[in-house]
């Protein structure tokens, strides 16, 4: 049992949620991450891949009230931090991979895909498989946002140690912006990317937006 799991059991859901949010705030400012999301229109559909506890969704719905959100994760329990007032607006699908979601006959067209702090939990040898699965759920107009942590900074090291020893993830391995761009270019050669500015304001966190080339 990881230290994080043990702490969750001891504190109970409510207290763990409070402490978890305070702890996360040290590593990333979720309000700044919301600013990275491209302008969304009512009824746009955002797919959150690897959504975890879902705390970011609270910030998202505070900004955009009328969007559709689907959260998928291969974990059996997800979305535990989502406020009750937002739960009716989101479809939560635990035990669901990208390929699982792509095979669903009831899935909606996706306007934006969010992949936040997911890639560094995937072993480097398996990352190509992850990226190769993305085309199964995208259309030519789908925008993809990838948020992760640039290695080489003290806070990056603390984040790694937290994932490795508090969360108990033996596979954690930080990934640079350059590596993300390389993997995405190999998968989507007709997509362009831009930085959102998160790295400048909340280093070592970064967020990249990938979208179709304007000439396409």
Is 53 within 8 Å of 79 (Cβ atoms)? Answer: yes
Residue 212 is predicted with a pLDDT of: 86
Total structural domains in the chain?
1
| Mean pLDDT per 10-residue section of the chain, whose length is 216 residues | 48 53 72 90 95 91 94 94 92 97 94 97 97 95 96 96 88 97 96 94 96 66
What's the CATH code of the domain at 150?
Answer: 3.40.50.150
The Cα–Cα gap between 137 and 150 comes to: 27
Residue 6 is predicted with a pLDDT of: 40
The Cα–Cα gap between 142 and 144 comes to: 7
Rg (CA), the chain: 17
Residue 23 is predicted with a pLDDT of: 55
Q: DSSP per residue over 48-104, as a string? A: EET-TT-HHHHHHHHH-SS-EEEEE-SSSS--TTS-GGGGGGEEEESS--HHHHHT-
Distances (CA, A) of 58 to 86, 141, 144: 7, 25, 20
Residue 20 is predicted with a pLDDT of: 58
Residue 13 is predicted with a pLDDT of: 54
* Residue 122, domain extent: 3-212
């Amino acid at each position: 049992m990881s230290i994080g799991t043990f702490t969750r059991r001891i504190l109970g859901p409510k207290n763990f949620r409070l402490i978890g949010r305070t702890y996360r705030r040290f590593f990333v400012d979720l309000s700044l991450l919301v600013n990275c999301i491209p302008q969304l229109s009512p009824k746009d559909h955002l797919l959150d891949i690897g959504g975890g506890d879902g705390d970011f969704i609270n910030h998202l719905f505070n900004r955009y009230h009328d969007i559709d959100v689907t959260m998928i994760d291969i974990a059996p329990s997800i979305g535990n931090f989502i406020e009750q007032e937002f739960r009716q607006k989101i479809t939560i699908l635990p035990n669901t991979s990208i390929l699982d979601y792509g095979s669903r006959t009831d899935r909606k067209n996706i306007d934006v895909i969010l992949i936040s702090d997911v890639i560094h939990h995937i072993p480097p040898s398996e990352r190509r498989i992850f990226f190769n699965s993305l085309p199964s759920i995208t259309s030519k107009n789908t925008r993809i946002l990838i948020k992760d942590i640039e290695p080489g900074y003290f806070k990056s090291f603390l984040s790694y140690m937290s994932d490795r020893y508090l969360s108990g993830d033996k596979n954690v391995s930080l990934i640079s912006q350059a590596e993300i761009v390389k993997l995405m270019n190999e998968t989507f050669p007709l997509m362009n990317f831009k930085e959102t500015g998160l790295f400048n304001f909340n280093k070592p966190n970064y967020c990249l937006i990938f979208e179709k080339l304007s000439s396409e």
